[in-house]
Structure 1
Amino acid sequence: MHNTEMNKIYETYAPLTDQEWRSDLVRSVREPSMRGIAFPSFPSADLQRHLQGNSNEMAVRGALSFREHCVGVLKANGAPFSKDSILIDFGTGWGRIARAFMKDVPAANIYAIEPFDFIVEARKANSYISFVKTDPLPPLPFCEGFATHFVTWSTFSHFNQHYFDRWISEIARILRPGGVCFITTLGVRFLEDLKEAHRQKIKGQQIHFWIDLILKRLPHDAIDTTIAEVRSGNVFWLPADSVARSEFAECFVTDRYLSDKFSNLFTVIDYADHGQLAQDCIALRRK
């Protein structure tokens, strides 16, 4: 596909408002063509739900909320997107996060990274951006200082500490100085929510199946100890025996771990941990 064609969404929507972009991207679930543009299609709802728990309009709205948060933090810190930005979406799944940023970055400059085979479905759905299949551990096939921005949703929240640290170091290699990375994590707020979910479960109320799985592995009387450990700047890893790869389950961490351990590489410029998004979000600027 020629760059002019690839970047058609950016060229059309960059001058428009966030509301216009939000409205049209959500509508694209049902209306594949608007303003003379063929929008990316969608994989099956079953695949979407398998990867993230929801699909179609709800999935797009969640991606847009993340995008709007990132855009706001970047503007507040003097590092906004531009036509020259190079964005990597790490752990892209079926590509919903990457497509939300097609208003901000030309599609020719967006790279969506995924180690698992459903990247094939992501490619079929969105021919505008580049999908790159990688190994579960670094390195990525990019040179040092390649990217200006890096986003990842619900990926670091599932890494064990070895994977977490290796990938933070790899992001530092790829981001140019002054570049910004957004990673989402599970932190203290999520652990506090687990206590409330336990109370609901005791009363016989229905709780989310994923929350229930966590509570079966993290007894409610251990949650306060876990909160203290995470607050003190440690990673708390909750392994699972029912996932495809043992390296992936639930990881609890706050910005303190990153600012302590990786202070030579990054500065934490924002930490959204009060429910602004479905997960906490840490923004890191490359030194």
Structure 2
Amino acid sequence: IQGFSDTPELHISLFVLFLGIYLIILLGNLIIFLVISCNPHLHTPMYIFLLNLSLIDISFSSNILPNLLHILLTQQNNISFLGCMTQMYVFVALAGSEYLLLTAMAYDRYVAICDPLHYIARMSRKHCAGLITAAFTVGFGESVGLIVLISKLSYCASRLINHFFCDVTPLLKLSCSSTFSVELLIYIEGTLLGFSSFLLTLASYIFIISAILKIQSSEGRQKAFSTCASHLTSVITFYGTLMGMYMRPTTSYSVKRDKYFSLLYIALGPVLNPFIYTLKNREFLSSINKVRQRYFAFLF
């Protein structure tokens, strides 16, 4: 893995930067996970979805950043073929799972705002667990075919992956065999999974915004919009960076530009999500204070 070997003078600075980013991701998402887990009042669909989103963000960054930190610190950049395929599989699977989880969260907000009288029935624990299970099952299942096809390609051009992790496009660049089947599968799965999820999310928000505009009082409109503003921000961040990277031909791939741009979809969402979902959430902040008070009461 080449990493950032073209800028060796920046390795220490990059190590400090990525270590800080990784610690922020771990701390922020672990706080969300622990607070929701410890407070029964937060065991509602919206917060259960958020808990699982935090788990994905922790796993997503932990799949890539620790190895990158090791490369920057030790300059030991070797990775086995199996290790490379495993890292790529986990990356693709988690990205697919997050697509579907964000879609489920959009549906949850749609029901809460557009059909509040049937919210308890339509978003029961059973239905909520089913949506989460489906998101992870499809995400990890649909990635198998892609990884199998990539693992069977011939790699005779070079052993050096011009990236800081085993990503799909840099590996396809190294193949000396036809990558048509892989690219076709990427577009098929991207359309079926990514684009369909995007359309479902978009449709949900069209109905949500329409319902909000029909609310008479400005205070009511603001309260209704605030319940879905965090999720909408998270959706824009995730879809904007990930679809911009992969829903295009490999001929338009620029090594240097995309190497740095890919940092956005790996770090931006996991870093921002804890702040997006918690800073203006009074219920969550109140729960943090309760957990903190219990902790200090236990110690003293």
TM over 0.5: no
Q: Which has the higher helix share?
A: 2
User: How does the TM-score come out when normalised to structure 2?
Assistant: 0.25
More strand by share: 1
Higher relative contact order (CA 8 A, sep 6+): 2
The structure whose Rg is larger is 2
